[in-house]
Structure 1
Amino acid sequence: MGRIYRAIGLMSGTSMDGIDVAMVATDGERVVERGPFLAVAYEPAFRNRLKQGLEEAKAIRIRTERPGDLAALERDITQRHAEAVATFLSVNNLLAGDIDVIGFHGQTVLHRPDEALTVQIGDGPLLARQTGIAVVHDMRANDMLHGGQGAPLVPTYHAALTAQLTDTRWPVCFVNIGGISNLTSIDRDGTIVAYDSGPGNTLIDQWVEAHAGIPFDQGGMIASEGRIVGALADRYLDNPFFTADSRRSLDRNDFLPPSGDEAELSDGARTLAYVSAAAVIKSAGHLPAMPKTFVIGGGGRLNRVIMADLRELAARHGSIVLSAEEAGFDGDAMEAEAWAYLAVRSLRALPLTYPATTGVREPVSGGVLAQL
């Protein structure tokens, strides 16, 4: 067993609802002790700036470009992450000196793997100065330089977590249902296969925001009042993404919400919840073997309609579906924990990605270290 590092992970995902802060104590390999977690919400006005930033980012051709408001937005989002770290330390009676490293994801504003272009705004050196803690940031770029898709990165952490599972039916598949969903299948012998599996919450969020003025369908309440519009569901599930010979990572713009005349509010939410669940099972069909246990993290696990559909679809393959909590984990914290874990692996020059997770040519480490 190597040195144990105390690391904080920071995640701001495609849902753009806020910052997740989590701590782990780890050697970057098999030892993982999960610590406290904190979620810090963005105020609506800042969330709107982030959404506008996504539009401005479409003009980026070189990943260092910051057109429009993006330079100011990068500074401001870094400041909010520094404030989130300060709050986390205070709430948990910790000092900056108690933490070895921060894993800083930043906010993805552009992800075009076919062009080897990924942009996460967030100033690692500024965050290190403001927190007084070393920061590992920009963890996707090196994977792309070596032929990978730059995503998903969380599978390496999922593999470490399997050591904490008991009475498991293998293969195990961790599914993160965020804005975009991704899956990680791990077999008993440690073999990992991972890729993005389709739209998660992003279509539902955009749909209910456009038609009900609320940011997401809490608990699936709106979807529970609707029915599945078969033709609309088929249109999404017939997308070539699901039948292509190779897996690729997704940008939130790869799947767009329905137009307003294609469904009424609850039917649209119900259909998109089904699409989210069916996309996971359909994409799992590309794995070497259908998983026997699905462990669901991310915000989608709180949508009871998505979870009910997942359980029904998985049961047709003799598989069971557990929420992260039912498996003994914290589904809100898991992705932020992963960035803490990956930061330690980066410090130790251990691989973050593998050919079977991102399509990279060989296992590679990554990340840029910003020291004090």
Structure 2
Amino acid sequence: MPTDSILSVRDLEVSFPVRGRRPRRYVRAVTDVNLDIRPGETLGLVGESGCGKTTLGSSVMRVRPEATGTISYRDSRNRLLDALNLARTDERVYQREVRMVFQDPHSSLNPRMTLRDIISEPLRMLTDLAEPEIDHRVRDITERVGLDVSHLRRYPHAFSGGQRQRVSIARALAPGPRLVVADEAVSALDTSVRSQILNLLQDLQDEMGLTYLFVSHDLSVVEHVCDRVAVMYLGRIVEIAPTTELFSNPRHPYTEALISSVPVPDPRLRGSRERVRLTGEVPDPSKPPSGCPFNPRCRHATGLCATEVPAPRPLGEGRTVACHHAEDLRLAGITGDPPPHTDRDR
């Protein structure tokens, strides 16, 4: 595990059996995933629905017993913990320091519990704080997320979607985590409320020194909040790069297609950028294509792509790409113009 990482994933695989199949067939939801998350950064995880983003996030949260490989976490005492094989004494530490904010703020909250009970529950389960300390912590985090402490006796149904998501954030942050997995945390919210929650997450990150794994299908949101971005396709990481570099100079054809679908906010510029439309459907993960998983939909595919799976390899500063022809392709970024490649990229 790199010394500058708080979480390191190596050779992660998650497979699910297909029900009713004889002989039994397996769906590989996540395949050979490797990534590192640095302290204090926001790493975006993007891709189409069904690509394995949520499965990867839930594996980090240890709710996927099918996961194999290694997930290493550096805790607050600088100890390395194997998240998939935690000792009993370390389970509370990991659960306290690695927390999750879910997509749906309605179904993720118990309608029979008051806000005070919802926020204080992880404190009672994961800490040894006395009741006065728990009450102080609940009030403090409630105010930090922008809610009124006078509402702590109310139930979730009394709040709007945005307020419920603030409650979810407060519950996740109450035990004092270091790493937060935000799984589509703003996708169920209205546009105006979405920006408020994003700003809140960034403010809390600065105040509390948080690290985020930000799972999303919305690249416009990812561009706004993430320091680096990992792109997933059919269970594999196909590109990782700093956000600015990825959006201005994508090096994988799938990344280019995703970026081309980002709406142009200026009405005068709409239509000035070519939309890369992918042909065909996402392959059946129980019967993935041979070679590169993206090759049936890639306009740059060659015979090599149909026979050999490309291994992720470094390409420039801070970038990793899994494409046989990444050095030779000139792909369009967010501006619509493919930048020239330099010798440094090779």
Structure 1-normalised TM-score?
0.29
Structure 2-normalised TM-score?
0.31
Structure of greater Rg: 2
